[in-house]
Chains A and B, each alone.
Chain A
Amino acid sequence: QVQLVQSGAEVMQPGASVKVSCRASGYPFTGYYIHWVRQAPGQGLEWMGWINPNSGGTNYAQKFQGRVTMTGDTSISTVFMELSSLRSDDTALYYCARDPGGNPTFDYWGQGTLVTVSS
């Protein structure tokens, strides 16, 4: 069955970088885009960007350009999202979600990774 399994919770200092992983199984890894979406405590969903694991191509939301980097490793069917220059308002649950491309659909989601930014 399709699964996206994310790395565990992180506590980071302001100004640091965090790297969250999303390991895919149960489907052809290179055949689907992966989106990253975050949700601050008690707030709504925010789209951060996507990566095409086949080509390595990316597209980031304007808000995160210059601070986010999405990469993939096809040998381990895993994508990574790195966010730098962390601030307290980056504290959120970060989700990965699968998209087959064509008509956009976010059909399967990871369990979420809590990133807490605190001094």
Chain B
Amino acid sequence: QTVVTQEPSLTVSPGGTVTLTCASSTGAVTSGYFPNWFQQKPGQAPRELIYSTSNKHSWTPARFSGSLLGGKAALTLSGVQPEDEAEYYCLLYYGGAYVFGTGTKVTVL
């Protein structure tokens, strides 16, 4: 069974920068896994921020960026705002099937 692992929690100061990563139990994550990133706040449905590694939607704040880093997918938040406090999930594509990451709770403190 494929497992996609993220950091359980990260803390960042307002205005700071934090990078979340997404690792696959099958090996290095490449663009062929089409990594997506979602933000979820309590009581809300997830909202997709990044698709296919680094593509943004019209609603994605400029401070969010996606990349590949050291064999993992990565989401970087630069100039963090208090409203960025949330749970973040990555999603990887495995040839027709998808697996969500374990999630990272980002605290802005």
Q: Please give the residue numbers on chain A whose beta carbons come within 8 Å of chain B beta carbons, in ascending order.
A: 35, 37, 44-47, 59, 61-62, 95, 97, 103-107, 109-112
Interface size for chain B: under 10, 10 to 19, 20 to 34, or 35 or more residues? 20 to 34
Chain B residues contacting A105 (CB-CB under 8 Å) are 36, 48, 51-52, 55
> B76 interface residue, CB < 8 Å from A?
no
A35 to B100, CA, bound (A): 13
A103 to B34, CA, bound (A): 7
Beta-carbon contact of A45 and B93 below 8 Å: no
Q: Which of B46, B57, B102 has the most CB of A within 10 A?
A: B46
Of the A-B pairs whose beta carbons lie under 8 Å apart in the complex, a sample of 8, sorted by A's number, is: A45-B103, A47-B97, A103-B52, A104-B51, A105-B48, A105-B55, A109-B46, A109-B47
Report the minimum CB–CB distance from B87 to chain A (whole Å). Answer: 8
A107 to B38, CA, bound (A): 10
Q: Please give the residue numbers on chain B whose beta carbons come within 8 Å of chain A beta carbons, in ascending order.
A: 34, 36, 38, 40, 45-48, 51-52, 55, 57, 89, 91, 93, 96-103
Contact check: which of A44, A97, A104, A109 meets B34 at CB < 8 Å? A104
Beta-carbon contact of B98 and A104 below 8 Å: yes
- The closest CB in chain B to the CB of A50 belongs to B98
Chain A residues contacting B46 (CB-CB under 8 Å) are 37, 45, 95, 97, 106, 109
Chain B residues contacting A106 (CB-CB under 8 Å) are 36, 38, 46, 48, 51, 91
Chain B residues contacting A103 (CB-CB under 8 Å) are 34, 51-52, 55
Beta-carbon contact of A111 and B45 below 8 Å: yes
Contact check: which of B52, B100, B102, B103 meets A104 at CB < 8 Å? B52
- The closest CB in chain A to the CB of B57 belongs to A107
Chain B residues contacting A35 (CB-CB under 8 Å) are 98
Beta-carbon contact of B45 and A61 below 8 Å: no
Chain B residues contacting A109 (CB-CB under 8 Å) are 45-47
Q: Which of A46, A104, A109 has the most CB of B within 10 A?
A: A104
A95 to B40, CA, bound (A): 13
